[in-house]
């Protein structure tokens, strides 16, 4: 009698990746900052510092500086960043013949879609510029949250989507760019990875405030939310996540490449 040996499936040990600073306390701190900031603004606190920073920016915005800031602020445009990250994921997936490089941009899109937009709609806060262009609100009315009587398009300032998107998407781009360069036999220095993660979000943070497109507290909230999402994405064990069905035939790891 011939015994037929059943095929065995190799199961990867799925464990969350380490992040820095380690532990969950930074994540908890970011949540506390975001909640505390929202509660304070709902209680009409911190309006003074928001107004002071916005007024200073208005008084120190010559034409050349304004156009420079507007150009640099494109670094935080969510749609182009999403397409760039997706393109890098597709290119790396083709080169490695693996679907795993597609997981980070897809997950990042879902996370940002389910958090940034809904928070903006729920908090319903106008931008500082809402007093100088449509809907031409009185300056004092541009500060409070929860102005649901305004059209949605005029009350989506909190938290700053530009800042949060910049942190999330440049993190994904840095994650994919290093193994992609490795497929071409090149190595990306750690300093470049850090620069990609840090410099664009910092530029976007400063320019959105300087241009009057967001209050200071909007951008701080965007930082907290962006770093929280970024830490969640960096924890994901992309090379070890179980894949369904036929996708298992194309599950070559990419983070440990080469």
pLDDT tens by residue, 110-147:
999 999 999 999 999 999 999 888 889 998 899 999 99
Region 28-42: what's the mean pLDDT? Answer: 97
pLDDT at 245: 74
Q: Find, among 155, 175, 176, 162, the residue nearest to 225 by Cα.
A: 162
Q: Is the pLDDT of residue 227 over 70?
A: yes
Contacts of range 40-49, beta carbons closer than 8 Å, 24 or more positions apart = 41/125, 41/144, 41/145, 41/158, 41/217, 42/145, 42/146, 44/143, 44/144, 46/217, 47/143, 47/144, 49/216, 49/217
Q: pLDDT category, 241, cuts 50, 70, 90?
A: confident
Region 197-209: what's the mean pLDDT? Answer: 96
DSSP state letter for 99? S
Q: Is the pLDDT of residue 9 over 50?
A: no
Range list of H helices, 3-102: 25-42, 47-59, 63-73, 78-96
Q: Do the beta carbons of residue 99 and residue 243 sit within 8 Å?
A: yes
Based on the number of CB atoms within 10 Å of its own CB, is 253 exposed (0-12), middle (13-18) or buried (19 or more)?
A: middle
CA 230 to chain centre: 7
DSSP state letter for 3? P
pTM attached to this predicted model: 0.90
CA 258 to chain centre: 27
């Amino acid at each position: 009698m011939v015994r037929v040996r059943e095929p065995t499936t190799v199961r990867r040990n799925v464990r969350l990746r380490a992040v820095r600073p380690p532990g969950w306390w930074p994540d908890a701190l970011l949540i506390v900052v975001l909640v505390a900031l929202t509660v304070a603004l709902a209680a009409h606190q911190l309006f003074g510092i928001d107004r002071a920073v916005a007024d200073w920016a208005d008084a120190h915005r010559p034409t050349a500086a304004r156009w420079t800031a507007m150009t640099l602020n494109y670094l935080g445009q969510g749609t182009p960043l999403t397409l760039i990250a997706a393109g890098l994921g597709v290119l790396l997936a083709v080169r490695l013949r693996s679907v795993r490089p597609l997981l980070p941009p897809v997950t990042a899109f879902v996370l940002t879609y389910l958090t940034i937009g809904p928070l903006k709609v729920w908090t319903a806060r106008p931008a500082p510029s809402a007093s100088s262009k449509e809907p031409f609100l009185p300056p004092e009315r541009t500060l409070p949250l929860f102005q649901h009587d305004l059209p949605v398009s005029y009350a989506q300032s909190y938290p700053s989507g530009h800042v949060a998107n910049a942190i999330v998407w440049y993190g994904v781009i840095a994650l994919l760019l290093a193994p992609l360069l490795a497929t071409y036999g090149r190595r990306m220095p750690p300093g470049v990875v850090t620069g990609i993660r840090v410099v664009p979000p910092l530029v976007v943070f400063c320019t959105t405030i300087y241009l009057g497109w967001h209050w200071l507290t909007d951008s701080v909230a965007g930082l907290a939310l962006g770093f929280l999402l970024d830490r969640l994405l960096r924890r994901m064990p992309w090379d070890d996540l179980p894949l369904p069905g036929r996708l298992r035939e194309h599950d070559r790891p990419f983070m440990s490449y080469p």
